[in-house]
Amino acid sequence: MDTERPDVDDSREPAQTPVPTAHQGPSWRATLFRHWLARLAATLMRLTHLAGQAWLRLNLRYIGLSLVLGTVMLAVAAYLLSGFYTVQPGEIAVVRRFGKVIATLRQEGLRYRLPWPIETQTIVNASVIRRESIGLAGTGSDQSGTPLPKLQVLSGDVNLVAYEIIVQYRIREPAAYLFNINDAHGQLVRDTVQAVIVKLSGSAGVDAILTTERHALQQDMHREVQTLLDQYQSGLMVVSVNLQKAYPPDDVADAFRDVASAREDKDRAISEAEAYGNTIIPKARGEAERILAEATSYATEQVDRATGAAESFTVILNQYEADRVRYGEEVTRFRLYWERMEKILPRVQTYIINRGEQVNLRLLDDSNIASFPPLPGGSRR
């Protein structure tokens, strides 16, 4: 710290030098000149001392003012620079001006807002998938720190069913999430899921919940939970709802499992029967169509053959009527009979003899000689 020199008492006059007179001798001029020189030197020294003190006071004041101004400028610069902030990938910044939301910035990078208290920003990580477990004992706690109990709900047929559900969700609208709800420890999501499962369970029977309607119940739960969160304007989006387990109370769990196993066996048997039916029915239909086609073809063939035979008989009958008139009835009948026998026995050597006449053939025994044409009664001769 600079110290000032003690001020010189300006009221004190310099020592008076006696002014020489002419009666003091011939050197009075030199003495008078030295006297005035001494007075001038004292005056100059006094003026120099006063100027130095004034300059020192002025410098001290200027340095103090400069320090104050520099400090103020640094404070203002730091205040203005406090408005810069960074948005990381997956984050969303919500900017407020005097508490009112004026912008929602989703693009990452360096951003600027007016310094506090004019504007403030809240950064929310919207890419994080949050997870809540409902009905799993010992997996979480509520706002008071109490462990969450099991979730047991009455079904439509007044049976108690326990559920274990896992919900995954993320923030879709940061402004709505920050200022419309108070989702401490995921309480809103858990309450919403419980309300939806109570509603859906009351419209279905316990057998359907435990067996056939489980997948449909999970899909309906996803849709209803999202609808209810949208009505709350929560800014949350449900990613998935997984119905981990739906089971009866422990006292009747074995009976329910037996019933479920019986239903599964029934469904399996029905499925196998339907599969067998789907395999055998097309084969039977094909066989029936084949038999029907063969019968149709055979019928057509027999009809055509009968038609041809009838037409041939008509031709033969007409020829017989003409030959009977020309050659006689017996001759015509014998000729027709002979022509037919030639067709019936094409490889047999035939001999024509008179009725009742015996013929001895060296190539044949007597026992093999038959009358031709056959005698009435089939007797041999």
Q: Looking at 172-295, which runs of residues are DSSP E strands?
A: 236-247
Burial (CB < 10 A; 0-12, 13-18, 19+), residue 213, is middle
**Phi and psi (nearest 5°) for 9?**
-70, 105
What pLDDT band is residue 12 in, cutting at 50, 70 and 90?
very low
Predicted pLDDT at 377: 47
pLDDT in tens, 247-268: 887 777 787 778 778 878 898 9
Output b/e per residue, 119-145; b: 16+ Cβ within 10 A.
bbbebbebeeeeebbbbbeeeeeeeee
Predicted pLDDT at 29: 66
Mean pLDDT of all residues belonging to the chain: 78
Contacts 24+ apart (CB under 8 A), 94-99: 94/121, 94/122, 94/123, 94/124, 94/174, 94/175, 94/178, 95/119, 95/120, 95/121, 96/120, 96/121, 96/122
Instruction: Please name the residue that has the structure tokens 């710290």.
Output: 1
Predicted pLDDT at 56: 67
Of the candidates 145, 133, 222, 223, the one whose C-alpha atom is nearest the C-alpha of residue 184 is 145
Q: What is the mean pLDDT of residues 287-291?
A: 92
Bigger pLDDT: 289 vs 248: 289
The distance in angstroms from the start CA to the end CA of the chain is 177
Residue 329's identity, in one-letter code, is: E
**Does pLDDT of 375 surpass 50?**
no
Whole-prediction pTM: 0.51
**Does pLDDT of 11 surpass 80?**
no
Of the candidates 129, 216, 201, 112, the one whose C-alpha atom is nearest the C-alpha of residue 172 is 129
**Does pLDDT of 7 surpass 70?**
no
Q: Looking at the chain, which runs of residues are DSSP E strands?
A: 84-87, 91-97, 100-105, 109-112, 119-125, 130-134, 151-154, 160-171, 236-247
Instruction: Please name the residue that has the structure tokens 């949350």.
Output: 236
Query: Looking at domain 131-248, which CATH architecture does it have?
Result: 2-Layer Sandwich (3.30)
Q: What is the 3-state composition of the chain as percent helix, strand, coil, each rounded to the nearest 5?
A: 55, 15, 30
CA distances from 308 to 131, 168, 239, 300, 303 (A): 89, 85, 82, 12, 8
pLDDT in tens, 186-228: 889 999 999 999 999 888 888 788 777 888 899 999 999 999 9
pLDDT in tens, 303-353: 998 998 888 888 878 877 887 777 777 777 777 787 778 778 777 766 666
Residue 331's identity, in one-letter code, is: V
Return the axis-axis angle of helices 187-201 and 214-231, rounded to nearest 10°: 130
Q: How far apart are CA 282 and CA 275, in angstroms?
A: 12
Domain parsing of the chain, residue ranges? 22-79, 85-125, 131-248, 258-336, 337-378
Tokens of 217: 């119940």
Predicted pLDDT at 60: 63
